[in-house]
Amino acid sequence: MKPTRAIFGFHAVLARLRADAASVTEIYLDEGRKDARARDLVLAAEKAGVSLMRVPTKRLDGFY
């Protein structure tokens, strides 16, 4: 089993989804984001069957 790695940023996450969606286990998205990039990410996650959770910014800040 491969170790779990966190990937940050819209471009990096979208690229991974497109290249190897099976390697993405879940996506966390800032609950305040409602822009086009956020919508694109939500659609890509749905298409790939990947769980996407909208979470508070403070939770995302805890990943760093």
pLDDT in tens, 6-56: 899 999 999 999 999 999 999 999 999 999 999 999 999 999 999 999 999
Phi and psi torsions of 54, nearest 5°:
-90, 125
**C-beta of residue 14 within 8 angstroms of C-beta of residue 44:** yes
Q: 3.30.70.240, 3.40.50.1240, 3.30.1330.30, 3.40.630.30: which CATH number matches 10-61?
A: 3.30.1330.30
Give the domain ranges of the chain.
10-61
pLDDT of residue 6: 86
Give residue 3's pLDDT.
78
Band of pLDDT at residue 63, cut at 50, 70 and 90:
confident
Given the structure tokens 């305040």, which residue do they identify? Answer: 32
